[in-house]
């Protein structure tokens, strides 16, 4: 699954266009490497997102095309 879509489906970022902009601005890293929006996400990847002065680091535990709001937190775990 594409990174921008995963960020939206998992609700780490609310909109896909915002996820795209974050990737374009160099704020998203997969396994400590800067990632483009089109980068493929796999189970076990570590995603780091910079939100201003705060970093969010998560590990991908599952990938699903569609998910309900209350099940979105099952797609990743915070590190």
Q: Band of the pLDDT at 50, cuts 50, 70, 90? A: very high
Pairing of strands 33-34, 28-30: antiparallel
- Determine which helix (DSSP H) or strand (DSSP E) holds 78, and give its type and residue range: strand 76-78
Claim: this prediction has a pTM higher than 0.75? yes
- Residue 26 in this model has a pLDDT that exceeds 90: yes
- Residue 45 in this model has a pLDDT that exceeds 90: yes
Q: Band of the pLDDT at 52, cuts 50, 70, 90? A: confident
- Can you give the pLDDT at residue 62? 92
- Can you give the pLDDT at residue 43? 94
- What b-and-e string marks burial along 22-52, b requiring 16 or more CB atoms within 10 Å of the CB? bbeeebbbbeeeebebebebeeebebbbeee
- Residue 66 in this model has a pLDDT that exceeds 90: no
Instruction: State in words which class domain 3-78 has.
Output: alpha beta
- Residue 19 in this model has a pLDDT that exceeds 90: yes
């Amino acid at each position: 699954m594409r990174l921008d879509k995963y960020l939206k489906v998992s609700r780490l970022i609310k909109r896909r266009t915002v996820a795209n902009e974050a990737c374009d601005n160099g704020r998203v890293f997969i396994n400590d490497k800067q990632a483009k929006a089109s980068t493929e996400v796999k189970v076990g990847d570590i995603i780091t997102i910079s939100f201003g002065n705060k970093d969010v680091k998560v590990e991908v535990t599952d990938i699903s095309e569609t998910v309900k709001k209350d099940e979105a937190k099952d797609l990743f775990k915070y590190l």
